[in-house]
Structure 1
Amino acid sequence: MPPILRSCLAGLCAAMLAAQAQASTAARDLGLPFNGRPGPLDAITDVPGVLVGQATLISGAADKANGPVVRTGVTVVLPRGKDSDAAVTAGLFDLNGNGEVTGQAYLQDYGVIHGPIGITNTNAIGQVYAGIQQWTSRRFGSAIWPVVGETSDSTLNDIEGFHVTAETAQAALEAARGGPVEEGGVGGGTGMICFGFKGGIGTASRIVSVAGKTYALGVLVQCNTGARRVLRLGGAPVGRELADRWLPCTAITPPLDTELPPCGPDGTGGRWKRDQGSIIMVVATDAPLSSLQLDRLAKRAAMGLARLGSYSGNSSGDLMLAFSTAPGANDTEHGASPTTPQLPNGDIDPLFEAAVDASEEAISNALVSAQTMTGYHGHRAYALPHDTLKAIMAKYGAQ
């Protein structure tokens, strides 16, 4: 049973069922071309040991005046699963700093991340931080200093209501598992908007050969960034073709699956003409890389974002993390030392290429998987229309 239906049966989001205008799918299913060899799941969970958990909060009817309108949640990535808080070697790249990732000082000085990585909305950083600390304290005997990233869902979610709690984060942690990862408007990505369309969580992976050995690389993104007009998918100028159609609007009628006229140059659709909003990108691999090499790998995720047309605008927080699950993280504070040799710099180009390719596909999946949503103050974010997208791809010979 789809998670959104489970929530609705629990009485949380009955009003949202009408917003599901098209079936969830992946970008590859629509014929978008991508480079590289994907893993079996085409997800970050193709990296052995990596788990993903999500908790989705949807309640309140957008066309009602009473009660909060909640469209938010938490997504967590567990580099070493639920049974270990051992460090993983890690890196960070700040493409544009109008956003927040906690734990940067420790990450940059020691080159490691301990325990789960949390992703949520801007006002829930503290609650998710506390939830991860409480969960790790109970599970491992001491609280870690978590890494938590954010993007703002204030257009669709009552973000000032602080509906995400420490318990929400713990629910996401308990739900963490391997296998397929749900994408689109789920978890931390529930209320996010990407390139002017409904966005959220996306993931992809690549299998690469380096110096005769095979490694997995996976990417998970929470996409809430991008100007509509610059969007490119498979090289086709999708944003230019759809610049004035399916703009975010405040009208409640006509039905949600009906195309509305443009909101106008100064209407609610106008803000999506700017590259703003933020994206968190997490790159995972089992290849043995140093923290410096992982800094460099995180930069390549930014190149995947650029393939979709983003220029990382002034008002966007675009932050990239990368970690390696190879044993022997250099956690100097606790006396550990590396036990696995890192790859030579001259051999890591296949991983750089994989990070670019998987990042491009993960963001594309966030767009293609998301479904139309109406939220706070009646704001509506339209799903990227699949049939129209396929027609544009055919027009430009991108299929």
Structure 2
Amino acid sequence: MTSKRVRLRELGINIGSLPIGTYNAITDVPGVEVGHATVHEDTPSVLRTGVTAILPLGKDKVWSHGVFAGSSVFNGYGEMTGRGWLEEAGQLSSPILLTSYYGVGAVHRGINKLCDDKDTHSGTHPIVAETWDGWLSDPNAFALTTEHVAQAMENTRPGHVDEGCVGGGTGMVCHDFKAGIGTSSRQVSVLGKPYTVGVLVQANYGDRKDFRVNGVPVGLQIPATEVPVPDRKRVPHVEDGSIIIVIATDAPISSKQCDRLARRATLGLGRTGGFGHNGSGDYAIAFSTGNTLKLRKEGLHEGLKIIPEKDINPLFHGVVEATEEAIVNSLCMAVTTQGYKGRVVHELPLARMTDILNRK
């Protein structure tokens, strides 16, 4: 039976020591917008899939401005389109779209079709990242279309972010519980100025026995006899799953520093029990809105500011804490889901987890 779903902090459980932003979400970084298109259908195919869109600078600047960005791959059994140009130029000038492995082609095509000026806009190379939802969603349906991309883009908003079984996270499983989209943020001070680090994840990895919250082995204390483990663990050649971590900050950092920030997200993944298994695609992308690049104007990019390397540590702390909490939020907000072939993935029992953490 589905229980009332609430975020981790609503259970009285805090991760880390840094303060959170207003919404405790990636959208606490000014300008960032998030939207979802959720596909939950039973006929003619059983579909539990979707698209999540992240706009670094909001709708108004989505094609006309860019930001410094970088990425990191912990284990590369996955796909992130556009990463070659991202690493080459250190710039991001498109939305970031999260979806199913089976939707990458359609979503990539869709976002290119939606670009407002395909003749003159160069250097877009959209970022489309995936995790596999084929356990709960019919992998042969290839259901996603340009219309779903347009819907996710139209639904993007600042402020509150829907979590759990929504958008690209609709069919995802994490640590053998139902999961999906999760987000969190941290406020930090660098050189006496306040900045925000926000994280959004699409979580689809891990074993029950490895799941930890605040270092407590929660998963070990919720055995399969209490909450069933998905049968996919007994099916040969079904891989471990993946995670996409999207990091935003308004701190003015360079593309190389964005690479560094993306690498630190792996520490937050490790704190929840992610090991980067052979069959896992663990991708992180980080961008900074602290400098904006006007793509449709000639001349130099002027007035750029960059934080010195020696002062960047608070951002590292922020991304680790926010990544861990975003992953746990993705589990807290997801509900028990029945999908393809009648398969069921059960939600994380929140009362049970709270009891375990209170008794640690």
TM-score by length of 1: 0.84
Where does residue 243 of structure 1 map in the other structure? Answer: 223
Where does residue 101 of structure 2 map in the other structure? Answer: 122
1:135 aligns with 2:114: yes
Cα offset, 1:284, TM superposition: 0.1
Of 379, 390, 395 in structure 1, the residue corresponding to residue 354 of structure 2 is 390
1:275 touches 1:310 (CA, 8 Å); kept in 2?
no
1:67 aligns with 2:44: yes
2:29 touches 2:249 (CA, 8 Å); kept in 1?
yes
Please show how residues 245-324 of structure 1 align to structure 2 within 5 Å.
Answer: 245-249=226-230, 267-270=231-234, 276-324=240-288
Gaps of 5+ in 2: none
2:291 touches 2:305 (CA, 8 Å); kept in 1?
no
Q: Distance in 2 between matches of 1:199 and 1:26?
A: 12
Two-structure CA RMSD over aligned residues (Å): 2.2
Where does residue 369 of structure 1 map in the other structure? Answer: 333
Q: Distance in 2 between matches of 1:276 and 1:210?
A: 38
2:189 touches 2:195 (CA, 8 Å); kept in 1?
yes
Where does residue 28 of structure 1 map in the other structure? Answer: 9
Q: C-alpha deviations, 1:201-253, integer Å up to 9, x for none?
A: 0000011110011111100000001111100012211111123232245xxxx
1:294 match: secondary structure: helix
* Percent identity over paired residues: 43
Q: C-alpha deviations, 1:320-375, integer Å up to 9, x for none?
A: 000001224498x9764353220000101000000000000000100111000000
Q: Distance in 1 between matches of 2:218 and 2:132?
A: 24
Q: Distance in 1 between matches of 2:301 and 2:227?
A: 54
Of 27, 31, 51 in structure 2, the residue corresponding to residue 49 of structure 1 is 31
Cα offset, 1:31, TM superposition: 2.4
1:95 aligns with 2:74: yes
Gaps of 5+ in 1: 1-18, 61-65, 250-266
1:111 touches 1:330 (CA, 8 Å); kept in 2?
no
Cα offset, 1:41, TM superposition: 0.4
Provide the aligned length of Structure 1 versus Structure 2.
354
2:69 touches 2:255 (CA, 8 Å); kept in 1?
yes
Of 27, 39, 47 in structure 1, the residue corresponding to residue 21 of structure 2 is 39
Q: Distance in 2 between matches of 1:225 and 1:89?
A: 28
Q: Distance in 1 between matches of 2:93 and 2:332?
A: 32
Of 75, 78, 81 in structure 1, the residue corresponding to residue 55 of structure 2 is 78
Higher share in strand: 2
Q: Distance in 1 between matches of 2:21 and 2:187?
A: 6
Please show how residues 136-151 of structure 1 align to structure 2 within 5 Å.
Answer: 136-137=115-116, 142=121, 144-151=124-131
Using a 3 Å threshold, how does the CA distance of structure 1 residues 39 and 128 change in structure 2: closer, same or farther?
same
Cα offset, 1:39, TM superposition: 0.1
TM-score by length of 2: 0.93
